Amino acid sequence: KYGLNVIVAINKFLTDSEKEKELLKNITFKIENPGLYVIVGENGCGKSTILKLILKFYCCNSGELFMNDKDINDIGSRELRNEISYLSKNNFVMRASIYENIKIVAEHATDQEIWQALCAVGLKNFILSLDKGYNTEIGDGALTLSSGQIQKLMLARCMLKKSSLVLLDEVTSDLDPVSESEIIKIIKELAKTKIVISVAHRTQFVNSGDFIIHIHNGTMVGIGKHEELMLHSALYKEMFGEL
């Protein structure tokens, strides 16, 4: 039996500004099985905020969030984040070797495990083409990686961290269609054994989701598979009718 569940029940989440603008309300979903769960909606509707609430970057004003049937408020921030891999479209790459950039999240990983992770995300031929292999330095002032290569490197980190929950925030938004297809394939492979919750708006990514959560003006207006939402939600069909 798969041993992780994520329960999100947000009654209300306000900004901490003087006006206390309401960003999220009435959002409830439960995830119990591995798969790719995609959060969609217009820009500024609160998609990324949901991920940050799960990570305890923010605190929910009214509502509950659980992981493994335990209220995340009862889990220390460090302990919680150790169990989660979080990737955004702007990821941190150290001025260090490819090897060291991977090792930072998995101190006990063997060289073989690191190499296997790099191969699994499609970086094998690229690394073999480098004189120093994965000991090649990358980052500011060193070898520059493409956006696609950086995202593959980040996904290799996810594999080595061995977290059961992966949160992705628009990770393919800056990629060309070919690179996006490659990244989606890797994410789908991850989602066979992990819960992957991803914020996305590009049609290719949304079409790859196993389950979709539709947010509109800070409220959940639909949840289900793409085909179901196309049949029952005019708002969703307006956004993704071309899929």
Over residues 11-50, the pLDDT tens digits come to: 888 765 545 677 898 999 999 999 999 999 988 888 999 9
Query: Taking a C-beta distance cutoff of 8 angstroms, is the pair 90, 126 a contact?
Result: no
Question: Can you point out the beta strands (E) in 15-138?
Answer: 22-31, 35-40, 62-67, 70-71, 84-88, 96-97, 137-138
Predicted confidence at residue 139, as pLDDT, reads: 82
Residue 43 dihedral angles phi and psi, to the nearest 5°: -60, 135
Distance between CA atoms of 5 and 209, rounded to whole angstroms? 18
DSSP state of 55: T
Predicted confidence at residue 2, as pLDDT, reads: 44
Predicted confidence at residue 1, as pLDDT, reads: 37
DSSP state of 134: G
CA-nearest of 37, 27, 47 to 5 is: 37
Predicted confidence at residue 19, as pLDDT, reads: 56
Q: How remote is the C-alpha of 118 from its chain's centroid?
A: 19
Distance between CA atoms of 26 and 62, rounded to whole angstroms? 10
CA-nearest of 30, 22, 99, 19 to 64 is: 30
Predicted confidence at residue 36, as pLDDT, reads: 96
Give the Å distances, CA to CA, from 134 to 43, 71, 126, 143: 38, 40, 10, 12
Distance between CA atoms of 82 and 55, rounded to whole angstroms? 10
> Which residues are CB-contacts of 127 (< 8 A; sequence separation ≥ 6)?
98, 118, 133, 134, 136
Q: How remote is the C-alpha of 203 from its chain's centroid?
A: 16
- Residues in the chain predicted with pLDDT less than 50, given as ranges, are 1-2, 18, 243
Helix H or strand E encompassing 167? strand 165-169
Helix H or strand E encompassing 189? helix 177-190
What pTM was computed for the model?
A: 0.90
